[in-house]
Amino acid sequence: MGGTLGESCGISEDVIIKASSLAVNSQNNATGYKMELGPQETFFAFDGSWSVQDFYNHEPFGETKADIALFPSLKSIGNNEVAMINEGFFLKFQSILQTTFQAEVEKAINEGKPIIFTGHSSGGPVAILAAVWYLAKHTRSGGHAPCKCVTFGSPLVGNSIFTHALNRENWSRFFLHFVGKYDIVPRITLAPFSSIRNEFAHILDFFNPQSRNFQNPLIQTSQEASTLFKTVLMNASTVASHTACNLMGSTNSLLETISSFVQLSPYRPSGTFIFCTGNGKLISVKNSNAVLQILFYSSQPADEDDLRIAASRSLYMAMAYHNELKEILLGMQDVVYLEDETEIPLSSNSSALGDTASVNTALKDLGLSTRARLCLRAAQAFEKQKLQNQSTIELKKPSIMKMHNVIAEYQRACDDRKIGYYDAFKIQKGNEDFEANVKRLELAGIWDEIVEMLKRYELPDGFESNDDWIKLGTKFRKLVEPLDIANYYRHSKDEDTGTYLREGGRPKRYKYTQRWREHAQKLDEGGSSETTFWAKVEELKRKTYEKTKEQVIDLEKQVNEWVEKEEIGKDVFLEKSTFVEWWKTLPQKHRSESCLKVHLANYMQ
């Protein structure tokens, strides 16, 4: 990808420069942020904070589960894992929500101006969370113009699921993070608090405008600065190396052993990172795993003497974004884009020409060794393998649809015979039942393979939000899960292992595809559970009415709603169906008051 940075990122250079000025100078506002109206944009610049507690609310890394009420998309859908975010920065954002912030955002929306969230250093994570909150609240509910989030030297704020969720929602393109080659702040949360406790508290004074030591050269060249820099890099090395080994498919059991007793930071990059080399060049990287490797390898000092220089430079660079970017962006831009398709030369002495030569020069400017370049290639290969895995799965679509048609035809045949789809399969008297069972098992194999890939995050992040696969998964669930339940109770498996709906009983292939639909249609958890209807009936029929009265009433309400929406067929009301046979055993008074009495009028006596 070529062109200027603004053209690539969909944001003008003037806006980036304006954002950097506001972000660097936003301090000590009563609300925790500063709003400013530009000619065409509304800026929200979030204050930096120089309290250790905002970086590390608790040990070891200060992480907490994301608040799904505020950030409903910050999760892995199928795996049902909630993203982890930095608690200190979240609490700061939460306090900002209690101010006039939401009203001012609404005002900006009504004026039709694009919104730019921005923050420098410790203001960056708050800007990121504000942007995620905005996207969750406004793009998923009303289609308002997306925002942009531009940060400068921001610490990492979320874990790999946070990154996965932004990619899945196609929101990563709205986040642009500028990082200095040696700036220690974007790398700081890769180290546990216990390892940097004393030095970090001292160094924060250098960044704090209210401190007597603000930009004090003695701190910049102090032993504390060198110790902090070295400790953070050692921890960044552990995280980057562990990730690289996993990317390269290492099966060494030592990896698991190390991760069991070494504290590994949960935080990972997300969005587009623009690395500032310090010599007027910019390098753009979107691949999260590649960014992680660059965060470590680009900041490597050559020796102990260079360590002191690098540590001093790291504090300087943390404060120099506005001036450096203004000079670069308003001049002849030298920007290199490292995409997953970019050829990465392994040697800095490569004689490559053209674009590859430009890439090689950029990697040399970042100080990336051959080992670092191998790690970048591994990060590229991992994303390419995800795409290849999806291509392999896509090839199975025709077979999946063909088998769906066979089972759908079986369902229609059952309707013609006036025997319920569920009950016909549970009884299994004919060849058509046998053939449907074969297709059920074949489909289960394919979908279980997909689920296993999703569990290991081996498919592209956007797979679970793909409309075609959501529809295909929903059709599969509606056609096949009733058969699975019938088979389960036909063989009386509940007597040996418990009910179908017990923890660990229902197959993941149905849980995953149900969650896809619920997320896509913004339904509450369990809002698309109609395919578990027969399992609920089987559970209730094994208990007395007195113990299950409330559950029975709830199920009847659900059935009424599902039938009206055609989520389940009216074959459930056939005289010999498992449901009707059970319902007729309920007390007469209950049946006479049931919301289903119209559907079941023939069986009221």
| CA dihedral for 123, 129, 132, 137, sign (positive or negative) | negative
Residues 45/27, Cβ–Cβ less than 8 Å: no
Is 183 a residue of the active site? yes
Q: What pLDDT does residue 492 have?
A: 92
- Residue closest to 301 by CA, chosen among 194, 229, 400: 229
The DSSP line for 444-506 is HHHHHHHHHHHHTT-S-TTGGG-HHHHHHHHHHHHHHHHHHHHHHHHTTTHHHH--TTSTTTS
Catalytic residue among 144, 177, 322, 404: 322
Question: Of 47, 54, 183, 571, which is the active-site residue?
Answer: 183
* Spatial separation of the C-alpha atoms in residues 227 and 351, rounded to whole Å: 38
Of the listed ranges 122-136, 179-193, 339-353, 508-522, the least confidently predicted one is 339-353
Round to whole Å and give the CA distance between 545 and 485. Answer: 22
Mean pLDDT for all residues in the chain: 91
Q: Label residue 260 by pLDDT band (50, 70, 90).
A: low
Q: Which of 76, 121, 160, 270 is catalytic?
A: 121
Q: What is the pLDDT of residues 25-47, one digit of tens each?
A: 998 898 999 999 888 899 999 99
Q: What is the mean pLDDT of residues 207-227?
A: 91
What is the chain's length? Answer: 605
Buried b / exposed e over 20-47, threshold 16 CB at 10 Å, is: bbbbbebbeeeebbbbeeeeebbbbbbb
pLDDT value of position 110: 87
Is 461 considered catalytic here?
A: no
Q: Which residue is it, tokens 């921890």?
A: 235
Predicted pLDDT of residue 428: 84
Counting residues of the chain whose pLDDT is more than 90, the rounded percentage is: 75
Containing H/E element for 43?
A: strand 42-46
* Least confident window among 5-14, 186-195, 442-451: 5-14
Which pair of tokens denotes residue 66? 């994301």
Question: Residue type for 125, please?
Answer: P
In this predicted structure, the answer to whether residue 254 has a pLDDT above a threshold of 60 is: no
**120 flagged as catalytic:** no
Sequence-distant (6+) residues with CB within 8 A of 126 are 32, 33, 46, 47, 89, 92, 93, 96, 119
More confident residue, 355 or 448: 448
Alpha-carbon span 535 to 542, nearest angstrom: 11
**171 neighbors 136 (Cβ within 8 angstroms):** no
